[in-house]
Amino acid sequence: MSETFDVIIIGAGSIGTPLAMSLAKRNLRTLVLDKEASPGQGQNKRAIGGVRATHSDGSKIKACLRSLEIFSTWQAKHGDEIGWIRGGYLFPVYMEHDEAVLKELLKVQRGFGLEIDWAGPDKVRELVPGIDGKNLRGGTWAPGDGSASPLLSANAFYREALKLGAEFHFKETVKEILSGGGLIKGVATDSGSYFSKWVVNAAGAEAAAVSEQAGVKVPVNPDCHEAGITEPAQRFFEPMVVDIRPGDKSKNYYFYQNREGQIIFCLTPQPPFWGDDRRSTSEFLPEVSRRMVSLMPGLASLKVRRTWRGLYPMTPDGFPVVDFPESLKGYVLAVGMCGQGFMLGPGLGEAVAAHIAGSPSPEDREILAGFKLSRSFSGQEKLK
């Protein structure tokens, strides 16, 4: 079997699925290939659903402001329930140093159009009733951020992409990226070959191995993170709470209450666990629950229903790689989404599709400018 498309996307995940939608909207004949049986079955479904534009740099802020627009208006425009809650993001602060860093960032964030402010201790206590008030200095508060269900969203984007004419082949693994004379030709899978002018690598945690097929090295390594969910409780707070203080065996952790009233939580282990081992550890639950209960003692009575472990496709500096390598015309990298692929997906999808269609706006260019493969990777994202 051999067919010709304008664009082939490898991966129907957090990035590939909304990108297909944006490409099909521009009348580009698009094929998405995924080795799993349906959309969002890679790392997308391991995400806890946080969507924030509260970042430390312009590219991520602008991409996520676009994503927020898409998530927050989805149900009104398309009718699907995706679990969107405009709960805001709150970074409560207990240490002088953290206050200085976050207050400094406010200027950058506001400069890029983010609605964010410093909330005093009383406002923080009002937003999160029962939060530990000892040494509480306040926190940053971005009311327009929120959360949505990764699986409901991936399926909504998938249905919309199909409606717009994109094709999806599941249970098909890309084995070879076809090229010749410095130009992309298509891909070969375990079932056949497909030809196209563009091939987008949106293969998530496996992006580096897939990129080797194109002869392009990308610094993306899987980094294991665990998450969990409790039984439901009556709603008692709205924001995603991000505690950036270091713990005994962890860096930050974050949690929110979803539409069903369940608390969903996630922790950044320290030291990191590199690799693709997805078995749950015995350290995660004691560490995260001790920290959450000390921040919000009222959580102690909730039972945890389930935990899981997934992979962040990490880059050395915590920023994605979204680029068009000169060495292979038609090859597109949309990889290295770290812990933010779900929130970046729809906004980045729009920006990448506009570049492929040859009509990027100044903002599309600005978004991709921060994600070049040729950068030194020596910086560090402050709000990973």
Ligand X SMILES: Cc1cc2nc3c(=O)[nH]c(=O)nc-3n(C[C@H](O)[C@H](O)[C@H](O)COP(=O)(O)OP(=O)(O)OC[C@H]3O[C@@H](n4cnc5c(N)ncnc54)[C@H](O)[C@@H]3O)c2cc1C
Q: What is the CA radius of gyration of the chain?
A: 20
Minimum CB separation of residue 154 from ligand X in Å reads 8
Is the bond preceding 232 in cis, omega lying within 30 degrees of 0? no
List the beta bridge partners of residue 168. Answer: 32
Phi, psi of 64, rounded to the nearest 5 degrees: -75, -25
**CB of 272 within 8 A of CB of 252?**
no
Binds ligand X by CB under 6 A, chosen from 42, 318, 325, 330: 42
| Site membership for ligand X, residue 140 (CB under 6 A) | no
Among 82, 200, 203, 328, binds ligand X (CB under 6 A): 203
Asked whether position 239 contacts ligand X by CB under 6 A, the answer is no
Our finding on whether 70 is near ligand X (CB under 6 A) is: no
Whichever of 138 and 218 has its CB closer to ligand X, that residue is 218
Q: What's the CA gap between 358 and 379, in Å, rounded?
A: 30
Q: How far apart are CA 162 and CA 32, in angstroms?
A: 11
Max CA pair span of the chain: 66
Closer to ligand X by Cβ: residue 202 or 295: 202
User: Least distance in Å: CB of 43 to ligand X?
Assistant: 3
Binding mask 76-105 for ligand X (x = CB under 6 A): ------------------------------
Please say which residue, 62 or 225, places its beta carbon nearer to ligand X: 225
Please identify which residue in 337, 356, 367, 383 interacts with ligand X, judged by CB under 6 A. 337
Which token pair is 325?
A: 């390598």
Shortest Cβ 246–ligand X spacing (Å): 19
Helix or strand or coil: residue 80? coil
3-state secondary structure of 303: coil
Q: Of 245 and 309, which has the nearer Cβ to ligand X?
A: 309
Q: Binding ligand X by CB under 6 A: which of 7, 8, 15, 21?
A: 15
Does 348 engage in binding with ligand X (CB under 6 A)? no
Helices (H), 79-215: 96-111, 121-127, 150-163, 207-212
Does residue 288 belong to the site contacting ligand X (CB under 6 A)? no
Q: Is 87 helix (H, G, I), strand (E, B) or coil?
A: coil
Question: Does the footprint of ligand X cover residue 269 (CB under 6 A)?
Answer: no
d(CA 356, CA 306): 41
Binding track, positions 313-332, relative to ligand X; x by CB under 6 A: x-------------------
**Burial state string for 84-114 with b = 16 or more CB within 10 A and e = fewer than 16:** bbebbbbbbbbeeebbeebeebbeebeebeb
Q: Which is nearer to ligand X, 202 or 354 (CB)?
A: 202
Please give the Cα distance from 352 to 76 (Å, whole number): 25
Q: How far is the CB of 227 from ligand X (least distance, A)?
A: 4
Among 21, 93, 214, 343, binds ligand X (CB under 6 A): 343
DSSP character string of 253-286: EEEEE-TTSEEEEEEEESS-EES---SPPSSHHH
Map residue 246 onto helix, strand or coil: coil
Among the listed residues 7, 8, 9, 16, the single contact to ligand X using CB under 6 A: 16
Looking at the Cβ atoms of 28 and 174, the one nearer to ligand X is 174
**Residue showing the smallest CB distance to ligand X in the complex:** 13
Smallest distance from the beta carbon of 52 to ligand X, in angstroms? 8
Q: Which residues bind ligand X (CB under 6 A)?
A: 10-16, 33-36, 41-44, 46-50, 173-174, 202-206, 210, 225, 227, 266, 310-313, 337, 339-343
